[in-house]
Structure 1
Amino acid sequence: MRATKLFNEFFENEKASGITLLICTLLSILLANSSISETYTHFWHSKIGSFSIEHIINDGLMTIFFLLIGLELEREVYIGELSNLKNALLPISAALGGMIIPALIYFAFTNGTLYHSGIGIPMATDIAFAIGILSLLGNKVPTSLKVFLTALAVIDDLGAILIIAIFYSKQIDITYLLLSLGVFSILLVMNRLKVYKLLPYLIGGVLMWYFMLNSGVHATITGVLLAFAIPFENGEEKSISYQLQHWLHKPVSFLILPIFALANTAIVLSFSDSNSLFPIYAYAIIFGLVVGKPLGIFIFSYLSVHFKFSKLPSDLNWSKIVGVGILGGIGFTMSIFITLLAFTDQSVINNAKFHIILASLTAGLLGLIVLKNILKEKVVETEEI
């Protein structure tokens, strides 16, 4: 399978970004549990105007992350893996399974408790971390497996975005929502009129974000809406969609996501009370990500192929799908993001973050071990032939 230039660039950036995210996470946890713990954690909650630094990161900078996700999804839909329905149905099915089964597992653990609102937490896959782990296996990884994981994670993120928009929005202010959607409509008209200058779309995007922020719908949704308003044209290098996506890769991968990790993993660890360390929602998160994700991805992929809705690429097999499914259990960025929306108690938020990190590291390590053995076996078979 031939990989496009932009896909290869995306994969390489996400690979390095995953390693950067891991370093930032470990550094943040270390600082939060050091002698400067109070100063470090207080910094992220200090105010700039009426907003805390953490709020600016989560509602402002992360909108740019969602813009990049939207541009990547748009490219996949127009000319990528999702442009052909038969090819698209495999990662779509996998993503659906990877959202539904973890959600059911979380629901089974937390039904009837105060923590049921976190049902979206184990439904997400972190693209940067997952691709970062996959890249450690080097050139033994088939391109189709990279494409499958990338498409799966992008669709997964779309699912998480829809969940945020539908279930984690506050009380809706109709006036501001209509104003935001009105700006979006104007941008769509500009698209149809073939306005191929980027600046008007960015100005419109800022206005749309401001109205969305005040509407009660989470402001980061603006990023995805803006991505689909920007003309894709034919997707070539001269198009503004391509140029913006190309320009955003490095700032998002090496600035925005690392800052998000630093701000949101400043977790003070306390092991004095095992009951408070492992409440019911902790098991729901761990089992949802580590067990539910690979199970859902495999089952729904298998059913999709079995009933001939899609087909398995010739250089893939079910053991490789299982391996990638385990990597799908790396939730991190989107899981932490949903945690911030699902809970209000800071101790619950910090504990949930800790278990997301624990589950993500477990899934990453297991996925690496499983795929390393699977791809090693393939090399041996080839040599014997």
Structure 2
Amino acid sequence: MTEGGRDGRSRRRFLAAAGAASATALAGCNGILNDGGGDGTGAPAAATFDDFRGSGANIGGRGEITGTRVADLPDLSGQLNIYLGGGEGGLYTDLLSLFGQVYPDFEPNVRLEPSTQLASKIREEQSAGGSFADVFWAVDAGSLAAVASEGYTRALPDDVVEVVPDQFRPDNAWTGVAGRARAVPYNTDQLSASEVPDTVREFPDTAALRDSMGWAPTYGSFQAFVTAMRLLRGDEATRQWVTDMQDAGAAGYANEFLISNAVADGELAAGFANHYYALRVKAQRPDAPIDLAFTSGDAGALINVSGAEVLEGTERVDLAENFIAHLLTAEAQEFFATRTFAYPMVPGVPPVGGLPRVDELSPPDIDLRQLDDVGGTIDLLRETGAL
């Protein structure tokens, strides 16, 4: 594992292109799951491709979309028990509802709790003889890895997940379905892109950020970022960085959407947040003075994933695997990209809002399975007084 510095790339404004409004082309298809016109009986029309897609300026100017289509896969049919961790404020259940419009015989039975709690529940159930759930769909790699490390998952078939980059499907024990990049939202009235340091270790000593940085130590994504820093730099260096950031006046917030809004309001010059929160601010306030910078090769450039795994002992293996294949279709990936503003996991679906593609970022060399040591991170944050 390495922590890098500058790689010669330019620090340009990424969200400047978010207002592009040209239509996105759908390669090799007519963009329709069916005619969407109903059956004349008063029943609701089945979903079209556009039903999966969000709206607004963020979706435009992205080029063509390719990939496996829902129509290419076997029907989803029958009951599937899904433990769903988080779900982007209910948006993931919206995706399940869209699948239900396409497949009236599909019955997802969802238990919705935080990912870490569900991971603990699965381990308890499996150690007692088997989990009630068939699929675990979590919003972070650490929870997926915690379950897989105990041998409680079934390896996913190559033909289901081969389109996903290797680092986001370790040993096929689970697969990422949507990505989130750590980023630095900054106020463009107060800072230029060149003033945002290229590595997070420089932040405490950057005069332009003193008493004007925001972070969310109670937030799971921030804790994953600190866990990554511990893996890259060790506990002592990480503890010192957390202390130095406090000395530099880092302000605590309950979540990273609040941080991004505070940056847009000028309350902060910059902050630590997942990339999509700035896009959500822009979607609500197109003229807000906020943009994103990305660090290089360090914990601040971590790409984490929402992902899914099939649990050992399920009697619905085919349905569970088919469901995960559906999460990787062009329709579902367009849903993740345009409704949650996440990074698609398949190369045929571009990200939104002028974002660089995943392969244009400079994430650290970290095995996402190692992000399961959240307990050690919480201990460190408490010891330093950040929590």
TM-score computed with the length of structure 2 as normaliser: 0.25
TM-score computed with the length of structure 1 as normaliser: 0.26
Q: Which has the higher helix share?
A: 1
